[in-house]
Amino acid sequence: RRAMYVLGIETSCDDTAVAIVSSTGKVLAEVVSSQWALLEQWKGIVPALAARSHQQNLPLVLQTALEQSGLKSFKELDAVAVTSGPGLAPCLNVGLSTAIDLAQTHQLDFLAINHLEAHALVPRLLHKDIQFPFLVLLVSGGHCSLVLAKDVGNYDVLGSTVDDSVGEAFDKVARMLELTSENNKLHGGALVEAYALNGNPRAFPLTEPMKKKKRKDCDFSFAGLKTNMMRLIAENEPLDDVKRQDFAASFQRTAIAHLVTRTKLACELSTTSFPEIKHLIVCGGVAANSKLRDQMTEVAKSFQLEAVFPPPRYCTDNGVMVAWAGMERYLRGVRDDPSTTKYTPRWP
C-alpha cells in the first residue's frame, strides 16, 4: 500500500503552523505564519487577538501547505493531527475546530496531540536511529522539563520548572535590559544571546538557582534568578550597551549552568536505570542557543550519549512536529474521536 499522509495543525500559541508528513518520514509541506506585528504592538501575546489572527491565517496556511505537498485534495490525506493542549484556550480552539471540520468533511482519521510530546518526538523524524528510551530536555517559552521517553505515550517526567520557564526568563531579561534588534524579528532569547556574544559572563555576581541543597529531583527554578537580575539592573542604572552586554552574558551563563546541573543529574539517573539509552535530545525554542548546545554536547559526551538538536525551525513551534507526533500515534493504531475531543489548556 502507498505511504500514509498526516496533516498537522499547530495554533497553541502565536504561530499558525501546518505541515504534511508521510509514514516514510518525508516532509511534503511545512508552512508557518508568525504574529510578529501583533507581538511588537502589544509587547507580548494577547490571547484573544492571537486567536483572531489564527482564524484569519489558518485557511491560507492550510491551502499553501496543500499546494506545496503536491496532493490534489485534503481527501488524499489519511489523518489530521492537531495540538489540543497545552496552550492558550482561544488559540487551541481555532486549530482544534478547524481540524475537526477537516476530518469530518473529508472523512479523515483524527488525532489530538500534546504539544510537548510533539516537541519531544520530532527528532525521531529527523534521525531515524533514535530509539526509545531516550532523554529529552525541553526548553521553550512555555516549558522547561526533563523527560525520559520510554515509548510513544509513555514518559517519565524527571523534572519541570517550579515557577517560570527558561524561555520566559530569557524573554523577561531581554525586556528588562530593553534589548532591540534592527528588524525587531528576534525572540527575547535570541536577543540575549546576541548581546551576550560581546559581554563578560562574570561581570555580575549571579548565583545558580537551587544550588544550596543537593536535590534528588531534576526540577528547575528561574524566578529567583529573574529577581536577582532586576535588583542588579536597578543598582546599575542607567544602562549603556556595554552593561547590557555584560548583563546578557552573566544571565545566560547562570541560566545555562542551572540547565546543565539538572540535566547532568537526569543523565545520571536515567542511564543508571536504562543503560541502553543513547541520545540526549535538546528541543524547544531555547535549544537554538549555541552556548547551550555546546555545553549540552559536553554533558552528553560525559555520559557516553549523543546530543541531538533539531534544527531551529523544528525547535520553535512548527507544524511538522504535530504531524509527526500524529504519525507516530497513527502507526501504533491510535485514533481519537473528533466529536468528543476538547482542547486542554493545562495538559501535563
57: buried, middle or exposed (CB in 10 Å: 19+, 13-18, 0-12)?
Answer: buried
Alpha carbon distance 124, 119 (integer Å):
10
Identify whether 275 is preceded by a cis peptide bond (ω within 30 of 0). no
Q: Within 10 A of 276 (CB to CB), how many other CB atoms are there?
A: 9
- The smaller minimum CB distance to ligand KG4, of residues 115 and 279, is found at 115
Q: Which stretch binds Zn ion (CB under 5 A): 135-143, 169-177, 242-250, 323-331?
A: 135-143
**Contact between 140 and Zn ion (CB under 5 A)?**
yes
Q: Does 317 bind Zn ion (CB under 5 A)?
A: yes
Q: How far is the CB of 87 from ligand KG4 (least distance, A)?
A: 8
Q: Which lies closer to ligand KG4 via its Cβ, residue 15 or residue 246?
A: 15
What does 188 interact with, of ligand KG4, Zn ion, none (CB < 5 to 8 A by kind)? ligand KG4
According to DSSP, the β-strands at 79-85 and 109-114 are parallel
- E-assigned strand segments in 183-235: none
Residue 286 touches which member of ligand KG4, Zn ion, none, C-beta under 5-8 Å by kind: ligand KG4
Q: Which is nearer to ligand KG4, 14 or 109 (CB)?
A: 14
Total residues in contact with Zn ion, by rule CB under 5 A: 2
Looking at the Cβ atoms of 109 and 115, the one nearer to ligand KG4 is: 115
Name the minimum Å distance from CB 67 to ligand KG4.
25
Q: How far apart are CA 68 and CA 50, in angstroms?
A: 25
**Residue 193's binding partner out of Zn ion, ligand KG4, none, with CB under 5 to 8 Å set by partner kind:** ligand KG4
What span, in angstroms and rounded, lies between the C-alpha atoms of 243 and 246? 5
Q: Does 245 bind Zn ion (CB under 5 A)?
A: no
Residue 171 touches which of ligand KG4, Zn ion, none (CB < 5 to 8 A by kind)?
ligand KG4
Q: In angstroms, rounded to a whole number, what is the distance separating the alpha carbons of residues 314 and 186?
A: 16
Pairwise CA distance, residues 178 & 244, whole Å: 8
Quick one: 96 or 177, whose CB is closer to Zn ion?
96
Residue 289 interaction partner, one of Zn ion, ligand KG4, none, beta carbon < 5-8 Å per kind: ligand KG4
Alpha helices per DSSP H over 13-46: 36-42
With CB cut-offs between 5 and 8 Å by kind, which of ligand KG4, Zn ion, none does residue 246 bind? none
Measured distance CA(53)–CA(41) in Å, rounded:
14
Smallest separation, CB 233 to ligand KG4 (Å): 18
Residues 274-303 that bind Zn ion (CB under 5 A): none
Dihedral of alpha carbons 140, 141, 144, 149, sign:
negative
CB of 259 to ligand KG4, least distance (A): 11
| DSSP calls for 107-174 | T-EEEEEEHHHHHHHHHHHH-TT--SSEEEEEE-SS-EEEEEEEETTEEEEEEEBSS--HHHHHHHHH
Query: Which residues are near ligand KG4 by CB under 6 A?
Result: 13, 140-142, 167, 170-171, 187-190, 193, 284-286, 288-289, 316-317
Q: How far is the CB of 159 from Zn ion (least distance, A)?
A: 18
Pairing between β-strand 109-114 and β-strand 134-139 as defined by DSSP bridges: unpaired
Instruction: List interacting residues with Zn ion (CB under 5 A).
Output: 140, 317
